[in-house]
Structure 1
Amino acid sequence: MTRNLLLLSIAALSLFACKGPEARRPVRTTSGTFIKESAERNKILLEQEEKMIATIIEQDTAKTYLTSDSGFWYYYNVKDSLPSNPPKFGDDVTFTYDIKTLNGKLILSESDNGVQNYKIDQSNQELISGIRDGLKLMKVGETVTFLFPSYKAYGYYGIENKLGTNVPVRSTVTLKTITTQENE
């Protein structure tokens, strides 16, 4: 009987002595200052790039520069005066483009890139966001030169052995064709 009482009391103690599971805590915690500091660095970088682009625009009085809603500047080398529509979501376009530094040093030529095929807003093609946005402003036959801050170009990654990180670029794009997708 004593033995049963002893086993029963040990079982009761172990049943009531167990705590629920505890969440594991991280070994070290961060304060979130890295993200705040990174945002501040990016604001300063953008401000510097915008000043560089503004200086170029001020010095180039022969061209009429336009500002896009997407955060870049552009001018028309060849503008289509006929009423036609720019590409829309899902349209297939073919185009050529080059990439230069803001000073005009060639990074990628049109022949390096070749003729590009792109489905507006649906392709996973590795185009910089500036060109994807710029194509939506163009009509067939137009040639436009864009000035992109680095965040609209190659940003932090650059182009290996060709373009450093956080470098704003100039790109001349010629829209060759638009194939409109009909709604079925």
Structure 2
Amino acid sequence: MKKYLIFITIITFGACKSPEARYPVTQKSGSYISESIVKNQELLEKEIALIKAVIAEDSTSQYQSSQDGFWYTYQVKTKDSTDTITPEFGDVVSFDYSISTLDDQVIYAEGEKATKTYAIDQEKLFSGLRQGLKLMKEGETVTFLFPSYKAFGYYGDKNKIGTNWPIKTKVTLHKITQGDEIKKQE
């Protein structure tokens, strides 16, 4: 019985040892990530050069650079300087848009995609258009030039837009319904 108690005591105290961390057999360097960063920077530089070439060729439009990394120009007939309301988080907007390549080859024609209703920052939409809509007022038509990372990026749209395509998007904003008005209707 005494041997049995000693055995249980040894097992009890031996089992209280804290676990030791297991370390990886090999450690990888960050070279893949570094290579990827360089590759993406080179891609962005090429796309920006293409966009700047398109802007230089279009002498009829005044393009502006956004803080979000894309360029845009208002259609002269539609720019509204008196209206001050732009969409904000929670507002619902109704708009039409077309998408083409930078050399004006149509990918999605205007009207091919039905009038879209979108709740600002609450639904899925590619990042450039999401940010571009916030710059617009009711009734305006704006042409956006998006580098691929602001458009559909590496994956494309899995339909007509391929991997890493910079695009030109023409957007007409029809109506802004402010979040307060939506809450009153509910």
Give the shorter-chain TM-score range: 0.7 to 0.9
Residue 173 in structure 1 maps to residue 160 in structure 2: no
2:61 corresponds to which residue? 63
The alpha carbon displacement at 1:163 in A equals: 1.6
Contact 2:141–2:171 (CA under 8 A) maintained in structure 1: yes
CA distance in 2, matches of 1:83, 1:54: 30
The alpha carbon displacement at 1:27 in A equals: 6.3
Length-normalised TM-score, structure 2: 0.85
CA deviations 1:19-50 (Å, max 9, x no partner) are 32334555654433333332222222111111
CA deviations 1:131-165 (Å, max 9, x no partner) are 11111111111111000001110001102241211
Bigger Cα Rg = 1
The alpha carbon displacement at 1:60 in A equals: 1.6
**In structure 2, the residue corresponding to 1:70 is in which secondary structure?**
coil
1:75 corresponds to which residue? 73
Length-normalised TM-score, structure 1: 0.86
Amino-acid identity (%) = 47
Alignment of 1:47-126 (within 5 A): 47-77=45-75, 78-121=78-121, 123-124=122-123, 126=124
Q: Which amino acid letter does the alignment assign opposite residue 138 of structure 2?
A: V
| Distance verdict in 2 for CA 1:41–1:17, change over 3 Å | same
Q: CA RMSD in A?
A: 2.1
Contact 2:83–2:137 (CA under 8 A) maintained in structure 1: no
Q: Which amino acid letter does the alignment assign opposite residue 82 of structure 2?
A: L
Contact 2:96–2:110 (CA under 8 A) maintained in structure 1: yes
CA distance in 1, matches of 2:135, 2:164: 25
2:5 corresponds to which residue? 8
CA deviations 1:46-87 (Å, max 9, x no partner) are 111111111111122221111111110011113124333222
**In structure 1, the residue corresponding to 2:46 is in which secondary structure?**
helix
**In structure 2, the residue corresponding to 1:144 is in which secondary structure?**
strand
CA distance in 1, matches of 2:86, 2:136: 5
Which residue, out of 137, 140, 144, partners 1:139?
A: 137
CA distance in 2, matches of 1:171, 1:49: 15
Contact 2:79–2:140 (CA under 8 A) maintained in structure 1: yes
**In structure 1, the residue corresponding to 2:179 is in which secondary structure?**
coil
Alignment of 1:27-38 (within 5 A): 29-38=27-36
CA distance in 2, matches of 1:110, 1:60: 21
Gap runs ≥5 in structure 2? none
**In structure 2, the residue corresponding to 1:111 is in which secondary structure?**
coil
The list of structure 1 runs, each at least 4 consecutive aligned residues, that deviate by more than 6 angstroms after superposition, is none
Gap runs ≥5 in structure 1? none
